[in-house]
Amino acid sequence: MTLHNNDSSSTVDLGEPVNSISAAMCEDTTPQPSPDPNVKSDNDNQEGKADTTTDAKPTIVLEMEIEESEVNVLAPLPSGQKTFLLFIFCLAVFIDVAGTSAAFIMTAPIAEQLELNVANSIWTVYSYSLPFASCLLFAGRVADLYSPSMVYSVGFLGNGILNLVLSFMSNKYAFLVLRGLSALFSVFTVPSSVNMIVQMYPDRTEQSKKLALFSLSAALANTVAFVIAGGFLAVSWRWYFRFVAILVIPLSFLTLWILPRVTPVVRRMRGVDRWKRMDILGSDLLLATLVFFMLAWTQVETAGWSNALFIAPLTLSLCILPFFFLWESKLPIGFSLLPHDLWRFPNIGPLVLAALTIFLWYAPYQLRMATYFQQVLHNSPIITGVKILPMGITACLVGALSQPFPVLFQKPRYTIPLASALCFGSGILLAYSGGGHGKDYWRYIFPSEIVGTVGAMIIFVVINTNLIQTFPTEFAGVAGSFVQVLFQIGAAVGNAAQAGFLKSNPSGTLTDWTGSRNSFFFTSAVIAASGVVFAVTFCHDKMPVLFPPDETQTAETQRENGADLEDRSGIPVAVKGEGE
């Protein structure tokens, strides 16, 4: 098949499955010469230059052709408007993550007022975290196929309104249902924010800095939310939700006014074709898998490892997962929820492993400190928040360093193992702290918080940024969701493992530090092993070079690669104007 690229108006027709561009990885290949004889001499003149790129980094070819550069309405915006929008995006993810973190502090007073018993009180947290984690990838697909600005605005405003309604709820069932609905609105702000940040900053160096700030906003919420929620508990937990509503609702309308309508990064298509690419069945299968998986691990603390409440949902999730992958493999290129060649992306293995293990280590760290300080040391919520505040301050400092010294985050093979070593040392300090009674807080807990947060924030930002930039541009929303799903899975497994170690000690109570100490030994060993594996398996030379959306030759380059990939995929690439 011959592709005529001399017609600049030629576009790839994405109306039917057979016309999708194949996604593949081109390793150690030179640029393909143009089939047009009119430009052959130019390629011949550059033959020596092409030879020098034989060992260049691999390139990810897009599954669905992206729009031409002029439709990117975010990149040309004034720097002040970009900065404000970035602030709004960071605020949205901060509030989303704080929705889970703050609930840990507020669980007891909420359960008391709504008359939830001890066994069911944890659902004040899980009614939000389960829907949030389970629907992330579906929300990412929506943000990629539809206008991310509209997806973001609806999610942000809906979350603000529901938080206001929640502050007046007195019925426990209505409260839990509305918490779940607020999570469904919140989940759409994460991938749409990532999608728009990627478009707003097409330069990869600047893009990595802004993604680092976005990542740190989520990490900061895990610690600062304790302080904020603790302060509102001095009055009432209801004022926390009202504060979120007061903050979010006006900003939502302001964002609707200053945020231009952003078109999807994929080429325009009919509504029915866009709907086909939603992969509804695949989304449902993955949703069921994640719901059962997360539900299983959240039952360990109350039910234990041998209880059917843990075994049954875990078994169901493991049974459904193969059907999801089978279904995805049968779909045409460009129609699946995840990229077809996801597991062939360069360094995807070590990046995924690091994403899973960092929150397996970090989430139990925070949860154990928050609960131990309140339930054993009988500290008030505000004092508990102050004791954990050094983690938030340290996270801010690490974020500040990420801007003038981005090189700290651009060499993952060296920074991740070093950061893992810091996390390991922090975990060991915490294990021997005995819970931080009296002066032991300053002797063990305080330095552990500083050292551990430095390591955790470096891993968090490096993994978040590199995983998102590894995905093709048209999967930017899915990429942001994919990273968050890995974090949520790691956190669920880590918290469950800690609960299991707590039940394994003789007394089985939180007062006995033996179970907590053993859990920190376990999570510290996991993060250390992850760092070693990352150092051995990660390769900088394999990181892909994505076609930036602001290059004038982007569409033509994609068509040239599409012609080269047609023979490999067996899927014809239809080009309008072909044969003219």
- 100-153 pLDDT tens trace: 888 878 887 888 888 887 667 778 888 888 888 888 888 888 888 888 899 999
CATH topology of domain 70-279+331-339+355-542: Growth Hormone; Chain: A; (1.20.1250)
In tens, the pLDDT along 257-295 reads 888 888 775 555 555 666 777 778 888 888 888 888 878
Would you state the structure tokens that stand for residue 23, as one six-digit string? Answer: 């996604």
pLDDT digits (tens, 9 = 90+) for 157-171: 999 999 999 999 989
The DSSP element (H or E) to which 59 belongs, if any, is strand 59-60
Residue whose pair of structure tokens reads 């299968």 in the numeric block: 285
Q: pLDDT above 70 covers what percent of the chain?
A: 77
Q: Is residue 327 classed exposed, middle or buried when 0-12, 13-18 and 19+ CB atoms within 10 A define those classes?
A: middle
- Pick the range with the lowest mean pLDDT from 22-26, 40-44, 426-430: 22-26
Helix axes 513-537, 348-375, angle to 10 degrees: 160
For the CA atoms of 327, 332, 334, 339, the dihedral, rounded to the nearest 10 degrees, stands at 40
Contacts of 514 (CB under 8 A, 6+ apart): 505, 506, 507
Split at pLDDT 50, 70, 90, the class of 501 is: confident
Per residue in 309-326, pLDDT tens?
A: 888 988 998 999 899 888
Q: What is the mean pLDDT of residues 162-187?
A: 92
User: Is residue 572 pLDDT above 60, yes or no?
Assistant: no
Predicted pLDDT at 209: 83
* C-alpha distance across the termini of the chain, in Å: 14
3-state secondary structure string, 88-157?
Answer: HHHHHHHHHHHHHHHHHHHHHHHHHHHCCCHHHHCHHHHHHHHHHHHCHHHHHHHHHHCCHHHHHHHHHH
Cβ within 8 Å of residue 257, ≥6 positions away: none
DSSP 459-483: HHHHHHHHHHHHS-GGGHHHHHHHH
| pLDDT above 60 for 214 | yes
Exposure string over 344-357, b if 16+ CB within 10 A, otherwise e: ebbbbebbbbbbbb
Is residue 540 within 8 Å of residue 430, measured between CB atoms?
A: no
Contact 83, 45 (CB under 8 A): no
Largest alpha-carbon pair distance within the chain? 82
Question: Which residues are bridge partners to 26 per DSSP?
Answer: 59
What is the mean predicted confidence (pLDDT) over 443-470?
89
